[in-house]
Amino acid sequence: MPPFYVTTPIYYVNDAPHIGHAYCTVNADAIARWHRLAGDDVFFLTGTDEHGLKVAQAATANGLSPQAWTDELAPRFAGAWADLQIANDDFIRTSEARHHRTVQQFLQRIYDNGYIVSDTYRGWYCVGCEQYYAEDELAGDRTCPVHGRPAEWYEEENYFFRLSAFQDRLVEWFESDPGRILPEQKRNEALSFVKGGLQDISITRTSIDWGVPVPWDPRHVFYVWYDALVNYLTAIGYGQDDDRFARWWPAVHHLIGKEIIRFHCVWWPAMCMAAGIDPPNHVQVHGWLLVGGEKMAKSKLNQIAPGDLTVDFGVDPVRYHLLRDTPLGSDGDFSYEGITARYNADLANNLGNLLARVATVVGTKCGGVGPAPDPASRLAAVAAGVVAEASGAWEAMQPAAALEATWRLIRETNAALESAEPWKHAPGPAVDAVLGSALESLRIVALLASPAMPSTCAEIWRRLGLGGLPEDRRVPDDAAWGGYPGGLAVEKGAPLFPRRQE
């Protein structure tokens, strides 16, 4: 089985989980589920980023140690993902011992290779913020934009990563495979940044101690980004289990938001090179899920918690909407009108209603026993085309396109019923052929849509009378026309997606 390693960024634990986080995580989950369905050996990783000044400050403000503080916060993310039926294989926290060990090993290696050097960091520093500011970030008279008091000129001995040494190799990496960073626009953005020249980066801090200690100089801790990125290696046994590491690396797919392109497409591959391992195979960049045209932010009070939506719409409809309405790469704008429209059109009217009408007619014309599909049905060709298109789209990390293709089979099946009108005819082979084919379409839809809506598709599977779960099947083999055996008891059940008013 080919290895398929997919990651989300580790989320900064000081944030509350919101649908922007959920957007990325659900996409990664659906893609992971698709690859499991395709028979790949999948490892899906997410987690939390817990170091850094702001976390330490928040902990202090709450009268807790940073560790105790993050122990309280991390489960909010893990819990949010459990609620959304996210099937991650591991959940990593950067404060874990295993991660500290890997960071130290990895960065020691880079140090030994001569790519981390001691140098002096100079800049305008605000004591209140405990932070450096670039010249143009400061207000008039070089005052801190937050505190309004003058920043001070500081010089600090720091360790620097020699990013500048990797410009040529990074360009080579970018150009060795046009699919390295997708979509192409983001790739070009990152590439032009690299071509514009790279400076060395300060990667350690002495001002705080909530972080991973620098092994060769314990007065320092690593700057959060330099420890955070390494999580992708920690979880697959870097330095601990060489066979395991070799199985998953560099066959990785990093799913990230556009705001962290530089870290993942420039710093990270360079760090890997410096440590003597291959850079990641693929970085998939997604846009932002906006609310009212703006990025969600604590300060704007426009964050929407996933739980607020799932209580109202259900888990699978929320997952479906996130996957279907915002293709990876572009920004999306979340709205209740948007999710409601999608819910009614695609889930209630098309999918839910199709299952209901077919189940009813199977009940009246076939005594509730689902007939076998017609091998010569017009839908067979439609289904084959849909399977091919949806598969291609999932492979290309385009869940929206995959689902759009899948829904074409639903529409065609509704149309086929309309033209055959089995409810008007006496029971018999002709009616059986039409209804069996409709059931077969639903079976294939349940298979293809299961990465997006695992619970719903399992329920459809069950109502069709099929044993096991869609996720136990394999594509493309089990998506071939004719897989529905017939002779199974079909259950109508309550509406899968009750239509929503307004």
Among residues 98, 142, 244, 357, which is the contact residue for RNA, using CB under 7 A? 357
Pick between residue 457 and residue 496 the one whose CB is nearest to RNA.
496
295 classed as catalytic: yes
CB under 7 A: which stretch of 16-24, 40-48, 138-146, 421-429 binds RNA?
Answer: 421-429
Asked if 231 contacts 280 with a C-beta cutoff of 8 angstroms, the reply is: no
CB under 7 A: which stretch of 68-76, 198-206, 237-245, 369-377 binds RNA?
Answer: 198-206
Output the CA–CA distances (angstroms, integers) from residue 122 to 51, 133, 135, 458, in the order listed.
Answer: 23, 10, 11, 59
Pick between residue 37 and residue 457 the one whose CB is nearest to RNA.
457
129 classed as catalytic: yes
Pick between residue 316 and residue 374 the one whose CB is nearest to RNA.
316
User: Which pair of tokens denotes residue 290?
Assistant: 């906006």
Pick between residue 354 and residue 475 the one whose CB is nearest to RNA.
354
What sections of 370-502 are H helices per DSSP? 378-395, 399-420, 429-449, 454-463
**What is the C-alpha separation between 454 and 445, in angstroms, rounded?**
12
CB under 7 A: which stretch of 237-245, 307-315, 358-366, 466-474 binds RNA?
Answer: 358-366
Pick between residue 242 and residue 259 the one whose CB is nearest to RNA.
259
From the list 134, 137, 163, 138, the residue with the least C-alpha distance to 149 is: 138
282 classed as catalytic: no
Pick between residue 76 and residue 357 the one whose CB is nearest to RNA.
357
Query: How many Cβ atoms from other residues are within 10 Å of residue 104's Cβ?
Result: 19
User: Rounded to the nearest whole angstrom, what is the least distance from the CB of residue 102 to RNA in the complex?
Assistant: 18
Among residues 40, 340, 349, 369, which is the contact residue for RNA, using CB under 7 A? 349
366 classed as catalytic: no
Range 223-237 burial, b when 16+ CB lie within 10 A, else e: bbbbbbbbbbbbbbb
What pairing do the DSSP bridges indicate for beta strands 294-295 and 289-291?
antiparallel
Among residues 29, 49, 316, 374, which is the contact residue for RNA, using CB under 7 A? 49
Among residues 26, 45, 198, 236, which is the contact residue for RNA, using CB under 7 A? 198
Asked if 373 contacts 358 with a C-beta cutoff of 8 angstroms, the reply is: no
Binding residues for RNA, total number by CB under 7 A? 64
Question: Looking at 195, 298, 300, 425, which residue is catalytic?
Answer: 298
CB under 7 A: which stretch of 60-68, 347-355, 370-378, 467-475 binds RNA?
Answer: 347-355
Pick between residue 39 and residue 363 the one whose CB is nearest to RNA.
363
User: Rounded to the nearest whole angstrom, what is the least distance from the CB of residue 345 to RNA in the complex?
Assistant: 4
* Torsion angle of the four alpha carbons 299, 304, 305, 306, in this order, in degrees rounded to the nearest 10: -150
298 classed as catalytic: yes
Write out the binding residues for RNA, residues 206-235 only, by CB under 7 A: 223-225
CB under 7 A: which stretch of 36-44, 303-311, 348-356, 387-395 binds RNA?
Answer: 348-356
| CB burial of residue 177 (10 Å; 0-12, 13-18, 19+) | exposed
Residue 419 found at the interface with RNA (CB under 7 A): yes
User: Rounded to the nearest whole angstrom, what is the least distance from the CB of residue 146 to RNA in the complex?
Assistant: 11
24 classed as catalytic: no
Question: Looking at 21, 100, 264, 282, which residue is catalytic?
Answer: 21
Write out the binding residues for RNA, residues 289-328 only, by CB under 7 A: 327
| CB burial of residue 85 (10 Å; 0-12, 13-18, 19+) | middle
Question: Looking at 126, 265, 366, 457, which residue is catalytic?
Answer: 126
Among residues 57, 108, 131, 340, which is the contact residue for RNA, using CB under 7 A? 131
Which residues have C-beta within 8 Å of that of residue 60, sequence separation ≥ 6? none
Write out the binding residues for RNA, residues 151-190 only, by CB under 7 A: 163, 185, 188-189
User: Rounded to the nearest whole angstrom, what is the least distance from the CB of residue 198 to RNA in the complex?
Assistant: 4
Query: How many Cβ atoms from other residues are within 10 Å of residue 57's Cβ?
Result: 15
Among residues 424, 426, 477, 502, which is the contact residue for RNA, using CB under 7 A? 424
Which residues have C-beta within 8 Å of that of residue 103, sequence separation ≥ 6? 212, 222, 226, 227, 230, 234
Write out the binding residues for RNA, residues 432-491 only, by CB under 7 A: none
Residue 118 found at the interface with RNA (CB under 7 A): no
| CB burial of residue 276 (10 Å; 0-12, 13-18, 19+) | exposed
Sign, Cα dihedral of 362, 365, 366, 372: negative
What pairing do the DSSP bridges indicate for beta strands 3-12 and 41-49?
parallel
**Adjacent-strand bridge partners of 7:** 45, 254
Which residues have C-beta within 8 Å of that of residue 465, sequence separation ≥ 6? 370, 488, 489, 490, 491
User: Which pair of tokens denotes residue 142?
Assistant: 């070089």
The catalytic residue positions are 18, 21, 126, 129, 144, 147, 295, 298
Residues that bind RNA (CB under 7 A): 12, 14, 49, 51-55, 121, 131-134, 137, 163, 185, 188-189, 192-193, 196-199, 201-202, 223-225, 258-260, 262, 327, 330, 341, 344-345, 348-353, 355-357, 360-361, 364, 411, 414-415, 417-419, 421, 423-424, 495-499
